Structure 1
Amino acid sequence: MPLFEVETTSHIMIACVDNESAARTFAESNYPGEEVLRVTHRPRDAWVISKRLLGIEGGIDPCTKARECLSSARGDKLHAVRLYMQQTGTDLDQARRVIESNMSLGW
C-alpha cells in the first residue's frame, strides 16, 4: 500500500492508504479542525527523515539531553532551556522547542 505525506495547518502525517482522496479523508477524520495544505505521494514504501535537516548532528540525542537538563533544572523550563543551550550550543528558539516537546511528552 502506498504512503502519502499529508500536511495540515499544524501537523505533517504519513498515511498508508490507497489514494490521495483516502489520505485527505484520513487527515480530516483525525484532525477535523485543520485545513489540509498538501498531499504528496511518497515514491517508495519507506519514510526517511534527515537528522541533518532537523539539526541533529554530532551524536547528540536531543531528547535524552533535554531530559537530563529538565532533571537538573528540577522541571524549571527556563533553567532547562538555558542548560540545554549551554550544553549543546543551540540557539534559544531551538532549545525552547526541544525542552517544550519533551515536557509535553510527559517528562
Structure 2
Amino acid sequence: MPLFEVETTSHIMIASADDEKAAREFAATNYPTEEIIRVTHRPRDAWVISKNLLGIVGTIDVCATARECLAQAKGDKLHAVRLYMNHTGSDLEQARKVIESNMAMGW
C-alpha cells in the first residue's frame, strides 16, 4: 500500500492508504478540526528523515546522548535541553528537536 504525506495546519503525518482520497479521509478522521494543506504521494514505500536537514551531524550517537541528558535531568525537558547543548555544542533549536524526539520515544 502506498504512503501519503498529509500536511494539516498543525501536523505532518504519513498515512498508508490506497489513494489520495483515503489519505485525506484518514487525516479528517484523526484530526477533524484541522485544515488539510497538502497531500503528497510518497514515491516509495518507505519514509526517510534526513539527519542533515534536522541539523544532526557528526559522529556522536545523538539519541544516546539525548537519553543520557533526559535521565540526568529526571525528565525535565528544559534542563535536558541545556545539558544537551552543553554536551554537544548544539544550538537551542537543534537541542530542543533532539530532546523532544527522544521524549516521544519514551526515553
Q: In 2, distance between residues paired with 1:76 and 1:25?
A: 37
Match of 1:50 in 2: 50
Q: TM-score, normalised by structure 1?
A: 0.81
Q: In 1, distance between residues paired with 2:49 and 2:58?
A: 16
Q: Are residues 13 and 76 of structure 1, via their aligned partners in 2, closer, same or farther at CA, if it must alter by over 3 Å?
A: closer
Does 1:23 find its partner at 2:23? yes
User: 1:21: how far off?
Assistant: 1.0
Give the fraction of aligned pairs with identical amino acids, expressed as a percent. 76
The 5 Å alignment of 1:36-47 reads 36-47=36-47
Q: Give CA deviations for 1:8-66 in whole Å, capped at 9, x if unaligned.
A: 12221111212111110011111112111110111222222212112222133333212
**Mean CA deviation greater in 55-64 or 40-49:** 55-64
Q: Which runs of 4+ in 1 moved over 6 A?
A: none
Computed over aligned residues only, the root mean square deviation of the Cα atoms, in angstroms, reads 2.1
Match of 1:83 in 2: 83
Q: Are residues 81 and 22 of structure 1, via their aligned partners in 2, closer, same or farther at CA, if it must alter by over 3 Å?
A: same
- Give 3-state SS (helix, strand or coil) of 1:56's partner: coil
Does 1:2 find its partner at 2:2? yes
- Give 3-state SS (helix, strand or coil) of 1:99's partner: helix
Q: TM-score, normalised by structure 2?
A: 0.81
- Give 3-state SS (helix, strand or coil) of 2:64's partner: helix
C-alpha contact 2:56 2:94 (8 A) present in aligned 1? no
How many pairs align? 107
Q: In 1, distance between residues paired with 2:103 and 2:48?
A: 25
Structure 2 unaligned spans of 5+: none
**Mean CA deviation greater in 78-87 or 58-67:** 58-67
- Give 3-state SS (helix, strand or coil) of 1:7's partner: strand
- Give 3-state SS (helix, strand or coil) of 1:53's partner: helix
